[in-house]
A = this chain, B = another copy of it.
Amino acid sequence: MQPPLRIDHHPANSLRRTIYRVLETTTGRKRGMSLVFNLILIALITLNAAAIILHTVPSFKLRYDRFFIDFELFSVIFFTIEYFVRVWICVENEKYRHPVTGRLRYVLSTTAIVHLLAILPFYVTLFHTDLALIRILRIFRIFRLFRITRYSRAFRVIQDVVEDKKEELVLSVSFLMFMLVIISSIMYYLEHTTQPDKFSSIPATLWWGINAMATVGYGDIHPMTPLGKVLAGITTVMGIGLFALPTGILASGFAEHIRSQKSGQKHHCPHCGKEL
Protein backbone atom coordinates (compact mmCIF):
# COMPACT_ATOMS: atom_id res chain seq x y z
CA MET A 1 0.00 0.00 0.00
CA GLN A 2 2.94 2.32 0.75
CA PRO A 3 3.60 4.38 -2.41
CA PRO A 4 7.06 4.12 -3.94
CA LEU A 5 9.59 6.91 -3.33
CA ARG A 6 9.69 9.11 -6.38
CA ILE A 7 11.58 12.34 -6.79
CA ASP A 8 8.98 14.58 -8.44
CA HIS A 9 8.41 17.69 -6.37
CA HIS A 10 5.64 19.10 -8.53
CA PRO A 11 3.10 20.60 -6.09
CA ALA A 12 0.13 18.76 -7.71
CA ASN A 13 1.94 15.43 -7.31
CA SER A 14 2.72 16.25 -3.70
CA LEU A 15 -0.96 17.02 -3.05
CA ARG A 16 -1.93 13.82 -4.86
CA ARG A 17 0.35 11.78 -2.61
CA THR A 18 -1.05 13.40 0.53
CA ILE A 19 -4.62 12.68 -0.53
CA TYR A 20 -3.64 9.13 -1.47
CA ARG A 21 -2.24 8.61 2.02
CA VAL A 22 -5.42 9.89 3.63
CA LEU A 23 -7.82 7.93 1.41
CA GLU A 24 -6.10 4.65 0.68
CA THR A 25 -3.65 3.88 3.49
CA THR A 26 -4.40 3.32 7.13
CA THR A 27 -0.82 3.47 8.34
CA GLY A 28 1.94 6.06 7.98
CA ARG A 29 2.06 9.78 8.64
CA LYS A 30 -1.53 10.69 7.69
CA ARG A 31 -2.99 7.95 9.93
CA GLY A 32 -5.13 10.29 12.02
CA MET A 33 -6.70 12.04 9.02
CA SER A 34 -7.14 8.71 7.26
CA LEU A 35 -9.06 7.37 10.23
CA VAL A 36 -11.28 10.45 10.36
CA PHE A 37 -12.00 10.29 6.62
CA ASN A 38 -12.83 6.59 6.74
CA LEU A 39 -15.15 7.08 9.71
CA ILE A 40 -16.94 9.89 7.83
CA LEU A 41 -17.25 7.57 4.81
CA ILE A 42 -18.66 4.70 6.90
CA ALA A 43 -21.11 7.09 8.55
CA LEU A 44 -22.21 8.46 5.17
CA ILE A 45 -22.71 4.97 3.72
CA THR A 46 -24.70 3.89 6.80
CA LEU A 47 -26.84 7.04 6.56
CA ASN A 48 -27.36 6.32 2.86
CA ALA A 49 -28.59 2.82 3.73
CA ALA A 50 -30.94 4.26 6.35
CA ALA A 51 -32.17 6.89 3.86
CA ILE A 52 -32.79 4.32 1.11
CA ILE A 53 -34.75 2.13 3.54
CA LEU A 54 -36.78 4.91 5.17
CA HIS A 55 -37.53 6.69 1.89
CA THR A 56 -39.65 3.67 0.87
CA VAL A 57 -41.90 4.03 3.93
CA PRO A 58 -44.94 6.04 2.69
CA SER A 59 -45.36 8.12 5.89
CA PHE A 60 -41.68 9.12 5.90
CA LYS A 61 -41.70 9.79 2.16
CA LEU A 62 -44.66 12.12 2.52
CA ARG A 63 -43.21 14.20 5.31
CA TYR A 64 -39.48 14.22 4.55
CA ASP A 65 -39.38 13.68 0.75
CA ARG A 66 -37.51 16.98 0.19
CA PHE A 67 -34.89 16.05 2.79
CA PHE A 68 -34.37 12.56 1.31
CA ILE A 69 -33.92 14.00 -2.20
CA ASP A 70 -31.46 16.61 -0.95
CA PHE A 71 -29.51 14.03 0.99
CA GLU A 72 -29.41 11.80 -2.10
CA LEU A 73 -28.11 14.73 -4.18
CA PHE A 74 -25.46 15.55 -1.59
CA SER A 75 -24.39 11.89 -1.35
CA VAL A 76 -24.13 11.46 -5.10
CA ILE A 77 -22.03 14.62 -5.42
CA PHE A 78 -19.79 13.50 -2.57
CA PHE A 79 -19.37 9.99 -4.02
CA THR A 80 -18.80 11.40 -7.52
CA ILE A 81 -16.04 13.72 -6.35
CA GLU A 82 -14.60 10.87 -4.29
CA TYR A 83 -14.69 8.59 -7.36
CA PHE A 84 -12.78 11.04 -9.57
CA VAL A 85 -10.31 11.83 -6.79
CA ARG A 86 -9.64 8.11 -6.39
CA VAL A 87 -9.11 7.73 -10.15
CA TRP A 88 -6.77 10.73 -10.08
CA ILE A 89 -4.69 9.50 -7.13
CA CYS A 90 -4.67 5.79 -7.99
CA VAL A 91 -1.36 6.17 -9.85
CA GLU A 92 0.32 6.62 -6.45
CA ASN A 93 -0.33 2.93 -5.95
CA GLU A 94 2.43 0.75 -7.42
CA LYS A 95 -0.23 -1.47 -9.05
CA TYR A 96 -1.79 1.35 -11.15
CA ARG A 97 1.38 3.39 -11.72
CA HIS A 98 0.93 4.24 -15.41
CA PRO A 99 -1.09 7.52 -15.87
CA VAL A 100 -3.28 6.02 -18.62
CA THR A 101 -3.25 2.20 -18.58
CA GLY A 102 -2.87 2.16 -14.78
CA ARG A 103 -5.88 4.41 -14.31
CA LEU A 104 -7.82 2.30 -16.81
CA ARG A 105 -7.03 -0.86 -14.89
CA TYR A 106 -8.11 0.87 -11.67
CA VAL A 107 -11.41 1.90 -13.26
CA LEU A 108 -12.01 -1.74 -14.23
CA SER A 109 -11.20 -3.09 -10.74
CA THR A 110 -14.14 -4.54 -8.74
CA THR A 111 -13.89 -1.80 -6.10
CA ALA A 112 -14.09 0.98 -8.70
CA ILE A 113 -16.94 -0.68 -10.62
CA VAL A 114 -19.00 -1.10 -7.44
CA HIS A 115 -18.27 2.55 -6.67
CA LEU A 116 -19.36 3.66 -10.15
CA LEU A 117 -22.52 1.51 -10.19
CA ALA A 118 -23.59 3.17 -6.95
CA ILE A 119 -23.57 6.67 -8.48
CA LEU A 120 -24.16 6.14 -12.19
CA PRO A 121 -27.92 5.40 -11.89
CA PHE A 122 -28.47 8.92 -10.55
CA TYR A 123 -27.02 10.50 -13.70
CA VAL A 124 -28.83 8.09 -16.01
CA THR A 125 -32.19 8.95 -14.43
CA LEU A 126 -31.45 12.66 -15.07
CA PHE A 127 -31.62 12.12 -18.81
CA HIS A 128 -34.01 9.18 -19.09
CA THR A 129 -37.62 9.34 -18.03
CA ASP A 130 -38.42 5.69 -18.74
CA LEU A 131 -40.03 4.56 -15.48
CA ALA A 132 -39.17 0.86 -15.93
CA LEU A 133 -35.51 1.69 -16.40
CA ILE A 134 -35.45 4.04 -13.41
CA ARG A 135 -36.96 1.34 -11.22
CA ILE A 136 -34.26 -1.14 -12.22
CA LEU A 137 -31.54 1.45 -11.70
CA ARG A 138 -32.79 2.12 -8.17
CA ILE A 139 -31.60 -1.36 -7.20
CA PHE A 140 -28.06 -0.25 -7.99
CA ARG A 141 -28.23 2.30 -5.17
CA ILE A 142 -27.86 -0.70 -2.85
CA PHE A 143 -24.32 -1.06 -4.21
CA ARG A 144 -23.38 1.83 -1.97
CA LEU A 145 -23.93 -0.49 0.97
CA PHE A 146 -21.46 -2.99 -0.48
CA ARG A 147 -18.73 -0.36 -0.16
CA ILE A 148 -18.95 -0.80 3.62
CA THR A 149 -17.87 -4.43 3.31
CA ARG A 150 -14.33 -3.15 2.79
CA TYR A 151 -14.34 -2.10 6.44
CA SER A 152 -16.24 -5.11 7.81
CA ARG A 153 -14.29 -7.96 9.35
CA ALA A 154 -17.38 -10.23 9.20
CA PHE A 155 -17.47 -9.93 5.43
CA ARG A 156 -13.81 -10.81 5.07
CA VAL A 157 -14.07 -13.82 7.39
CA ILE A 158 -17.08 -15.24 5.52
CA GLN A 159 -15.31 -14.62 2.21
CA ASP A 160 -12.24 -16.50 3.44
CA VAL A 161 -14.36 -19.41 4.69
CA VAL A 162 -16.26 -19.66 1.39
CA GLU A 163 -12.94 -19.50 -0.50
CA ASP A 164 -11.51 -22.19 1.74
CA LYS A 165 -14.43 -24.57 1.38
CA LYS A 166 -15.25 -23.74 -2.25
CA GLU A 167 -14.91 -27.28 -3.52
CA GLU A 168 -17.20 -28.83 -0.91
CA LEU A 169 -19.76 -26.06 -1.35
CA VAL A 170 -19.82 -26.42 -5.14
CA LEU A 171 -20.11 -30.19 -4.78
CA SER A 172 -23.02 -30.14 -2.35
CA VAL A 173 -24.86 -27.22 -3.95
CA SER A 174 -24.62 -28.84 -7.39
CA PHE A 175 -26.03 -32.07 -6.00
CA LEU A 176 -28.80 -30.05 -4.34
CA MET A 177 -29.58 -28.39 -7.71
CA PHE A 178 -29.62 -31.76 -9.48
CA MET A 179 -32.06 -33.28 -6.98
CA LEU A 180 -34.16 -30.11 -7.12
CA VAL A 181 -34.57 -30.42 -10.90
CA ILE A 182 -35.32 -34.17 -10.77
CA ILE A 183 -37.88 -33.87 -7.95
CA SER A 184 -39.59 -30.77 -9.36
CA SER A 185 -39.93 -32.45 -12.77
CA ILE A 186 -41.54 -35.56 -11.27
CA MET A 187 -43.77 -33.41 -9.04
CA TYR A 188 -44.90 -31.41 -12.07
CA TYR A 189 -46.13 -34.55 -13.83
CA LEU A 190 -47.84 -35.73 -10.62
CA GLU A 191 -49.64 -32.49 -9.77
CA HIS A 192 -50.14 -30.65 -13.05
CA THR A 193 -53.48 -32.30 -13.88
CA THR A 194 -54.96 -31.63 -10.43
CA GLN A 195 -53.63 -28.09 -9.98
CA PRO A 196 -52.88 -26.79 -13.47
CA ASP A 197 -52.81 -23.18 -12.25
CA LYS A 198 -50.29 -23.73 -9.45
CA PHE A 199 -48.04 -26.45 -10.84
CA SER A 200 -48.30 -24.77 -14.22
CA SER A 201 -44.80 -25.65 -15.48
CA ILE A 202 -41.57 -27.21 -14.27
CA PRO A 203 -40.00 -23.78 -13.55
CA ALA A 204 -43.09 -22.96 -11.45
CA THR A 205 -42.67 -26.27 -9.67
CA LEU A 206 -39.02 -25.45 -8.96
CA TRP A 207 -40.36 -22.67 -6.71
CA TRP A 208 -42.25 -25.30 -4.74
CA GLY A 209 -39.20 -27.59 -4.79
CA ILE A 210 -36.70 -25.15 -3.33
CA ASN A 211 -39.16 -24.17 -0.59
CA ALA A 212 -39.99 -27.81 0.19
CA MET A 213 -36.31 -28.73 0.45
CA ALA A 214 -35.63 -25.70 2.63
CA THR A 215 -38.80 -26.37 4.70
CA VAL A 216 -40.16 -22.88 4.05
CA GLY A 217 -43.75 -23.77 3.22
CA TYR A 218 -45.34 -20.45 2.32
CA GLY A 219 -48.54 -22.34 1.64
CA ASP A 220 -49.11 -20.73 -1.76
CA ILE A 221 -48.31 -23.97 -3.55
CA HIS A 222 -48.37 -27.52 -2.17
CA PRO A 223 -49.23 -30.95 -3.58
CA MET A 224 -52.75 -32.32 -3.20
CA THR A 225 -52.61 -35.77 -4.78
CA PRO A 226 -51.60 -38.66 -2.47
CA LEU A 227 -48.55 -39.47 -4.63
CA GLY A 228 -47.56 -35.81 -4.70
CA LYS A 229 -47.77 -35.68 -0.91
CA VAL A 230 -45.62 -38.79 -0.55
CA LEU A 231 -43.02 -37.26 -2.88
CA ALA A 232 -43.22 -33.98 -0.94
CA GLY A 233 -42.58 -35.82 2.31
CA ILE A 234 -39.54 -37.61 0.85
CA THR A 235 -38.34 -34.33 -0.66
CA THR A 236 -38.51 -32.51 2.67
CA VAL A 237 -36.69 -35.27 4.55
CA MET A 238 -34.05 -35.43 1.82
CA GLY A 239 -33.86 -31.64 1.62
CA ILE A 240 -33.04 -31.32 5.31
CA GLY A 241 -30.32 -33.93 4.87
CA LEU A 242 -28.88 -32.30 1.76
CA PHE A 243 -28.98 -28.79 3.20
CA ALA A 244 -27.01 -30.12 6.14
CA LEU A 245 -24.04 -30.69 3.82
CA PRO A 246 -23.23 -27.09 2.77
CA THR A 247 -24.33 -25.63 6.11
CA GLY A 248 -22.24 -28.10 8.07
CA ILE A 249 -19.27 -27.29 5.85
CA LEU A 250 -19.72 -23.53 6.29
CA ALA A 251 -20.21 -23.82 10.06
CA SER A 252 -17.15 -25.99 10.61
CA GLY A 253 -15.07 -23.84 8.23
CA PHE A 254 -16.12 -20.76 10.18
CA ALA A 255 -15.26 -22.39 13.50
CA GLU A 256 -11.84 -23.48 12.16
CA HIS A 257 -11.16 -19.98 10.83
CA ILE A 258 -12.02 -18.29 14.13
CA ARG A 259 -10.02 -20.82 16.12
CA SER A 260 -6.94 -20.45 13.93
CA GLN A 261 -7.20 -16.65 14.12
CA LYS A 262 -7.62 -16.58 17.89
CA SER A 263 -4.31 -18.26 18.57
CA GLY A 264 -1.61 -19.61 16.39
CA GLN A 265 -0.06 -21.27 19.42
CA LYS A 266 -3.29 -22.79 20.68
CA HIS A 267 -2.31 -26.28 19.68
CA HIS A 268 0.67 -26.34 21.99
CA CYS A 269 0.84 -27.19 25.67
CA PRO A 270 1.70 -23.95 27.50
CA HIS A 271 3.80 -25.90 30.04
CA CYS A 272 6.02 -28.19 28.01
CA GLY A 273 5.58 -26.48 24.65
CA LYS A 274 4.91 -29.69 22.81
CA GLU A 275 2.27 -29.85 20.14
CA LEU A 276 -1.01 -31.38 21.20
A241 close to B246 (CB less than 8 A): yes
Provide the bound-state CA to CA distance between A193 and B138, in Å: 13
- Please indicate the chain B residues that have their CB under 8 angstroms from the CB of A146 in the complex: 182
- Please indicate the chain B residues that have their CB under 8 angstroms from the CB of A135 in the complex: 189, 193
Closest B residue, CB atoms, query A171? B154
A210 close to B237 (CB less than 8 A): yes
A10 lies within 8 A of chain B by Cβ = no
A83 lies within 8 A of chain B by Cβ = no
- Chain B nearest CB from A233 CB (Å) reads 4
Interface string of A244-264 (1 = CB under 8 A from B): 111111111011001000000
Provide the bound-state CA to CA distance between A145 and B85, in Å: 53
A13 lies within 8 A of chain B by Cβ = no
Provide the bound-state CA to CA distance between A171 and B154, in Å: 5
Provide the bound-state CA to CA distance between A139 and B185, in Å: 7
Cβ-defined partner of A248 (8 Å) among B56, B157, B251, B269: B251
A145 close to B222 (CB less than 8 A): no
A49-B181, A215-B215, A269-B272 known; A240 vs B243 contact (CB < 8 Å): yes
B207 close to A233 (CB less than 8 A): yes
Which residues of A in the span 95-154 have a Cβ within 8 Å of any Cβ on B?
135-136, 138-139, 142, 145-146, 148-149, 152-154
A181 close to B145 (CB less than 8 A): yes
A220 lies within 8 A of chain B by Cβ = yes
Of A22-30, A33-41, A67-75, A195-203, the one with at least 4 CB within 8 A of chain B: A195-203
A274 lies within 8 A of chain B by Cβ = yes
A172-B154, A201-B56, A216-B212 known; A241 vs B247 contact (CB < 8 Å): yes
A153-B171, A240-B247 known; A182 vs B216 contact (CB < 8 Å): no
- Please indicate the chain B residues that have their CB under 8 angstroms from the CB of A233 in the complex: 206-207, 210-211
Provide the bound-state CA to CA distance between A171 and B139, in Å: 26
Cβ-defined partner of A269 (8 Å) among B218, B246, B271: B271
- Chain B nearest CB from A167 CB (Å) reads 7
Max chain B C-beta neighbours (<10 A), residue from A52, A145, A176, A241: A241
A57 lies within 8 A of chain B by Cβ = yes
The 8 closest A-B CB pairs, nearest first, are A248-B251, A269-B269, A244-B247, A219-B219, A216-B217, A272-B272, A271-B274, A56-B201
22 A-B residue contacts at CB 8 Å?
A49-B181, A53-B181, A56-B201, A145-B181, A145-B182, A148-B178, A154-B171, A154-B174, A154-B175, A155-B175, A167-B258, A206-B233, A207-B232, A212-B216, A240-B243, A240-B247, A243-B247, A244-B250, A245-B250, A248-B251, A248-B254, A271-B276
